[in-house]
Amino acid sequence: MGSGVRRARRTLIAEGKMTEQSMQFDYIVVGAGSAGCVLANRLSRDPNNRVCLVEGGGSDRTPRIHVPAGTITLYKSERYAYQFMSEPQTHLNNRRIHVPRGRMLGGSSSMNSMIYIRGDRSDYDTWAAMGCPGWSYDDLLPFFKEAEDNRLGQSPDFHGRGGELAVDKPRDPNPASRRFVEAAKEIGIAENSDFNGAKLEGVGIYNLTQKDAKRLSSYRAFVHPVLSRANLTVMTDARVERLDIVGGAVTGVTLTKDGKSLTLRAARETVLAAGALGSPEILLKSGIGDGAELRAVGMDVRHHLPGVGKNLQDHLDGLVTVRSHDSSTLGFSAGSMPRVLASPLKYLAKKAGWLTTNYVEAGGFARTKYAGDVPDVQFHFVPGYRSHRGRLFEWGHGYAIHTCVLRPESRGSVFPKRTNGQAELGIDFRFIDKEQDARVLVEGMRLARRILGASPFAGIRGAEIAPGPKRMSDEALMDYVRSDASTVFHPSGTCRMGNDEGAVVTPDLKVRGLANLRIADASIMPTLISGNTNAPSIMIGQKCAAMMLAG
C-alpha cells in the first residue's frame, strides 16, 4: 500500500468515516497524554511500524490550552477534562474530592501548570531497591536528557539540548513570586536555581514546559510535529471499551467512536498509557483485576490480577491564602483593570504580561521536623488571591502557598462499582489513612506561614484568610486539613511495577500473565515521586518504547 493511500486511510479512520470493522496495526497506544505521545513518536520513527494512537478526548485546538493563563479554565470543563469525583474520604470529613484529568490530545499535560520537575534521585533508587532493576536514577537520567531541550543553559551533566520538550523559565513572572523566594531564604531555606540538577531541596522560580510563550504539551512536543508520518494514525474521541484477549494474549482493542463499534488489531503489542485512573479502568472493564471484586459487581473475570487498582497515591495539599490590597499581584480590581484589559495585546505583541502566567511561578522543596535526608513537602506559590471557597476567580488581590506531602504513607485504590446499574470507577484515596501524612502537612503549612510572615512580603502584607488566625494549634490545623485539604492532581501507582505477586507489571512494563500488553504511565510507579508527575511520565513513555524496540 503506497504512502498516499495510507495517509488517506489514516485520515478517514480519524474522522470515523471508514466502514470496515477491523483495522490492523503493529502497535496500539491507548492514551495521548504525557507518556502515550512519546510512545507514539518513538515507535513510529521506524516507517515499517504501523502505530495507532487512540485518545478518548478530542482536539487541543483552543487558546484556553495554548495560552498559559488559560489553564485555570480547564479544570472544571466538561469538554476538556474528565470530571472524576472520589468516594467520600473517611478522614476528610467524608468529603468527595474533585479529580479532573485531561480529556484532549496531550491529556493532562494539556491542562497542568507546566512545571518541569523530575523528582529526587532517591525516588528512583528506591524503585530499583524495591525489585525494579533498570529504574535507578542513573539508569533513567539518559531518558530525561534525551527528551529535553533545555533553554536555560543548565548543566549538561543533568540536562539535554535538542530534544522535543522545551524547558524554559517563565516569560514574565509576577514580582510577588520573587518575594516568595527571598522570604523563604530569610527563614533559612536556600535558593535552588535547578531543581532537576544535583539536588531537589530549596526554593526558586520553576522551570516550565513552554515554547514561544505557549504551553508545550506532550502532544505538541512529540506528536503534532510528526503527523505527516504515513505509518502513524491518531484517533480522537475514541472510547476504549475493552482489551480483546485470545488465548492469554491481548490482540487489540474494541472502542466506540461516533456511536459505532470499531475493533483495532495489534500484531505486536498494545500499550495502555491512559493514566493512573484510565489504565486500571480499562483493565477492569476488560475483566482484568481482582476476581472477587469483579464478580461482586457482575463483571466477567478474564484474568485474575489482584494488584490492579491498588496502591493509589497522590500528593495531599493544604492551602495558606492571604488577602492583600496591593494590586500588583494577579487579580481583578479597579487598580488592576488597565493591566487586565491590556493583557491580550501585550501577550500578542511582546509575549509578556498576565496571559503568560502558569499561576504557580515559584515554589520549592523543604524538610519538616519529620523529614530525613530529603525534602518531605513541596510549595507551589501563587502570586494571586487563591479562593478558599473553590471559585476560579475572586474579586481582589492576594497571594497563596499550596503545600503538599511529597511521600505519603497512605494508600488507596480504584475499583469497579455500579451506580444505578451502570459500571463506574470508584476512587478512594484514603487520604490521611496514615495520620503521619496529616502531621507532615501541618508542619509544612507552618513553614508556609513563616515564609509569608517574612520581611520581603512587608510591602504587600495582608490578612490570612485560610486557615486563618483562629487556627494556630496543631489540633486546629488538623481540623483544617480534614475540612479543606485536597489533591494536587498527581494520582499514581494503580498498576504498580515490581516482581512480587501484588505487582501488575514487571520491570519491563509487561502485564503479568498476559502476552502483548504493557502499561506505561504514572500508574506503574511503585511509590509516588517527589514532585510534579508530567516529566517522569514522559520518561516512562520513553523507557517503555526503548524496551519495546529492543525486542
Q: Which residues line the annotated binding site? A: 240
* CB distance 76 to 31 below 8 Å: no
> Residue 346 and residue 408: Cα distance in Å, rounded?
42
Q: What is the DSSP string of 497-548?
A: B-SSTT-SB-TT-BBTT-BSEEE-SGGG-SS--SS-SHHHHHHHHHHHHHHH
Known binding residues for FAD are 240
Residue in 66, 159, 303, 490 annotated catalytic: 490
Q: Name the DSSP letter for residue 89.
A: B
Residue spans of beta strands (DSSP E) within 22-80: 22-30, 51-54
Tell me how far CA of residue 308 lies from CA of 112, 154, 218, 312, 506, in angstroms: 26, 39, 26, 10, 13
Residue spans of beta strands (DSSP E) within 334-420: 362-366, 377-382, 397-405, 412-419
Radius of gyration of the chain, Cα coordinates, nearest whole angstrom: 23
**Residue 284 grid cell:** 477492569
Q: Which helix (H) or strand (E) holds 337?
A: helix 337-350
Q: Catalytic site residue 397?
A: no
Residues in the chain: 551
**Residue 141 grid cell:** 537520567
**Residue 86 grid cell:** 472520589
> Residue 339 and residue 365: Cα distance in Å, rounded?
32
Hey, which residues are catalytic here?
Answer: 490
